[in-house]
């Protein structure tokens, strides 16, 4: 395949459309929505890339993937080379190719986006990563350097921890990841539904790290089973990437009624424990006929689409601002709409009403209007007096976000925190404790997978120089 196209020829190619499962069908199953590109489609899309010298797309990527290089290799049909470049920069490319907000990162910077559609970098990343998974025999085994004799403990097996572990293993350090839950992946596994990120993808990416020599110990809760001080004694450095798992409560009457979930509980039951996916699953879940999800971020979209798949007749997003203010990815909102999700906008919950048996029956709501912009830059929702109404529900899911979980930090009194309870770290992830680094949601509050990975990568570089410095 030729990659020697003229700019004119490249410009003449239209952006590829991602094949996806039929909306009606997929709204009742947990199979992946996006079906992935075929090889011919992927190569043709890659040929849209102008391979421009300034590489603004790379600056838009929190982990700095060499985008023009891997896309260029793909455009020339050299898939093993594309995979080598991609995997060298990104520990979890098949994950990123699925869940990254490309439209606000790499693709937002793409030169082709100035006049038309940017190159579908996310789709190409996913294609190359999936191809690499399917063709391990075509890839050269990563050459690992000799063991350095240095050891690093990684707290949390989510995107930040996995990335840091991969980077450090590549440098020859002995890495042990401690995970509190019984399985790997952190938020990738318990938070993101199968229809957006199949569990097998996480399994394969994690297995690649294990092949590189990373040890993973599940069921170890740092702060309880072992303390940070113990890790400092036993390892040359520590990376904390334990996420921000503490639900923000609604703070309205009725939130302890039966049928009211925090998003983390709802998604954990279903994604981590398999509730609702088979009739024989031991972990229960309330399926709900009329489900209201409060919030409008990606987690809210995951909940509302999951509720639909569990059979809800009405599955609703209840949000106090308008559609254009929703923080969720455009693709997720679009997919949710196609699947029959209802968007109840400019609506703020006041109270959850229940029956005499303690079950939620209705969400009392206040109509809102948009006023002047607030500190977030978005127009502030203000109540419209006298305009309240009841929405009939049997399940309510609170997806208002998460805060820093104090379980670990409460047992590390010398670890400096900011006023939100997040760990304070410098630009390299170094905390107030010697040899202890941190990254991901525990330093920045609830954010994205890719930002956590960027933190993991930066901290790994700093840890490498920290533990190598003494030699």
Partner 1 sequence: MYEVLSNDTLAPNLHRMVVRAPRIAPARKAGQFVIVRCEAGDERIPLTIGDADPAAGTITLFIQAIGASTKKIVAVPPGGFLRDVAGPLGMATEIERWGRVACIGGGVGTAVLFPMARALAEEGNEVTTIIGGRAEPYIILADELAAFSKEVRVTTEDGSLGRKGFVTAELKEMLDDPERAPQAVFAVGPVPMMRAVAEMTRPYGVKTIVSLNPIMIDGTGMCGGCRVVVDGEARFACVDGPEFDGHAVDFASLTDRLTMYRDHEEQCRLAV
| 347-376 binders of partner 1 (CB under 8 A) | 357-358
How far is it, in rounded angstroms, from Cα 463 to Cα 173?
A: 10
Query: Rounded to the nearest whole angstrom, what is the least distance from the CB of residue 327 to partner 1 in the complex?
Result: 21
Query: Rounded to the nearest whole angstrom, what is the least distance from the CB of residue 247 to partner 1 in the complex?
Result: 4
Whether 244 and 405 have beta carbons less than 8 Å apart is answered as yes
| 409-468 binders of partner 1 (CB under 8 A) | none
Buried b (16+ CB within 10 A) or exposed e, 355-387: eeeeebbbbbbbbbebeeeeeeeebebeeeeee
- Hey, which bits of 203-346 come out as E strands? 215-217, 237-240, 260-262, 290-294, 314-318, 342-344
- Partner residues linked to 261 by β-bridges: 397
Query: Rounded to the nearest whole angstrom, what is the least distance from the CB of residue 374 to partner 1 in the complex?
Result: 27
Is residue 253 close enough to count as binding partner 1 by CB under 8 A?
no
Q: Contact region for partner 1 (CB under 8 A) — 17-25, 164-172, 221-229, 453-461?
A: 221-229
Smaller CB separation from partner 1, 405 or 448: 405
**Residue from 143, 282, 324, 372 that binds partner 1 (CB under 8 A)?**
282
* DSSP label of 104: G
Is residue 181 close enough to count as binding partner 1 by CB under 8 A?
yes
Query: Rounded to the nearest whole angstrom, what is the least distance from the CB of residue 297 to partner 1 in the complex?
Result: 17
Whether 266 and 399 have beta carbons less than 8 Å apart is answered as no
Q: What is 424-445 written as a DSSP string?
A: P--TT-B-SSTTEEE-THHHHS
Q: Which tokens sit at 309?
A: 């798949």
**Residue from 28, 135, 224, 416 that binds partner 1 (CB under 8 A)?**
224
Sheet of 347-354, strand order: 347-354, 360-373, 379-392
Q: How many chain residues touch partner 1 (CB under 8 A)? A: 37
**Residue from 58, 111, 281, 350 that binds partner 1 (CB under 8 A)?**
281
Query: Rounded to the nearest whole angstrom, what is the least distance from the CB of residue 272 to partner 1 in the complex?
Result: 8
Whether 321 and 343 have beta carbons less than 8 Å apart is answered as no
Query: Rounded to the nearest whole angstrom, what is the least distance from the CB of residue 5 to partner 1 in the complex?
Result: 50
Smaller CB separation from partner 1, 226 or 393: 226
Is residue 200 close enough to count as binding partner 1 by CB under 8 A?
no
Is residue 268 close enough to count as binding partner 1 by CB under 8 A?
yes
How far is it, in rounded angstroms, from Cα 361 to Cα 396?
A: 9
How far is it, in rounded angstroms, from Cα 369 to Cα 322?
A: 9
Is residue 261 close enough to count as binding partner 1 by CB under 8 A?
yes
Is residue 176 close enough to count as binding partner 1 by CB under 8 A?
no
Is residue 104 close enough to count as binding partner 1 by CB under 8 A?
no
- The residues that touch partner 1, with contacts defined as CB under 8 A, are 180-182, 218-221, 224-226, 245-247, 249, 255-256, 258-259, 261-262, 264-265, 268-269, 273-274, 280-284, 286, 357-358, 405-407
């Amino acid at each position: 395949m030729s990659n020697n196209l003229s700019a004119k020829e490249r410009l003449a190619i239209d952006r590829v459309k991602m094949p996806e499962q039929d909306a009606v069908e997929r709204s009742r199953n947990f199979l992946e929505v996006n079906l992935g590109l075929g090889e011919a489609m992927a190569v043709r899309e890659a040929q849209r890339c102008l391979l421009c010298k300034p590489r603004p797309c790379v600056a838009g990527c929190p982990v700095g993937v060499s985008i023009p290089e891997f896309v260029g290799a793909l455009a020339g049909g050299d898939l093993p080379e594309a995979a080598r470049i991609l995997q060298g920069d990104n520990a979890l490319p098949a994950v990123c190719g699925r869940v990254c907000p490309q439209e606000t990162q790499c693709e937002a910077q793409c030169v082709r986006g100035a006049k038309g559609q940017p190159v579908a970098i996310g789709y190409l990343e996913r294609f190359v990563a999936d191809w690499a998974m399917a063709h391990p025999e075509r890839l050269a085994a990563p050459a690992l350097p000799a063991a350095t004799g240095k050891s690093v403990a990684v707290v949390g097996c989510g995107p930040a921890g996995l990335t840091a572990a991969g980077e450090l293993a590549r440098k020859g350090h002995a890495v042990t990841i401690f995970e509190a839950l019984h399985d790997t992946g952190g938020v990738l596994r318990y938070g993101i539904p199968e229809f957006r990120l199949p569990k097998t993808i996480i399994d394969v990416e994690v297995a690649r790290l294990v092949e590189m020599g990373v040890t993973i110990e599940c069921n170890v809760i740092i702060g309880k089973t072992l303390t940070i001080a113990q890790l400092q004694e036993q390892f040359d450095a520590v990376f904390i990437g334990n996420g921000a798992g503490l639900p923000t409560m609604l703070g309205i009457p009725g939130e302890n009624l039966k049928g009211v979930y925090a998003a983390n509980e709802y998604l954990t039951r279903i994604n981590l424990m398999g509730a609702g996916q088979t009739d024989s699953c031991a972990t229960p879940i309330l399926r709900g006929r009329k489900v209201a999800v409060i919030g409008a971020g990606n987690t809210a979209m995951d909940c509302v689409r999951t509720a639909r798949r569990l059979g809800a007749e009405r599955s609703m997003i209840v949000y106090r601002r308008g559609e254009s203010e929703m923080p969720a990815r455009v693709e997720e909102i679009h997919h949710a709409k196609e699947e029959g999700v209802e968007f109840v906008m400019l609506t703020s919950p006041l109270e959850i009403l229940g029956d005499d048996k303690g079950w939620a029956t209705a969400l009392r709501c206040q109509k809102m209007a948009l006023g002047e912009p607030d500190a977030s830059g978005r127009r502030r929702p203000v109540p419209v007096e006298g305009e309240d109404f009841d929405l009939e529900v049997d399940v309510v899911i609170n997806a208002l976000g998460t805060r820093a979980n104090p379980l670990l930090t409460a047992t590390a009194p010398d670890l400096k925190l900011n006023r939100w309870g997040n760990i304070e770290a410098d630009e390299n992830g170094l905390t107030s404790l010697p040899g202890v680094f941190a990254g991901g949601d525990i330093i920045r509050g609830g954010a994205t997978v890719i930002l956590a990975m960027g933190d993991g990568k930066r901290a790994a570089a700093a840890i490498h120089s920290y533990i190598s410095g003494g030699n």
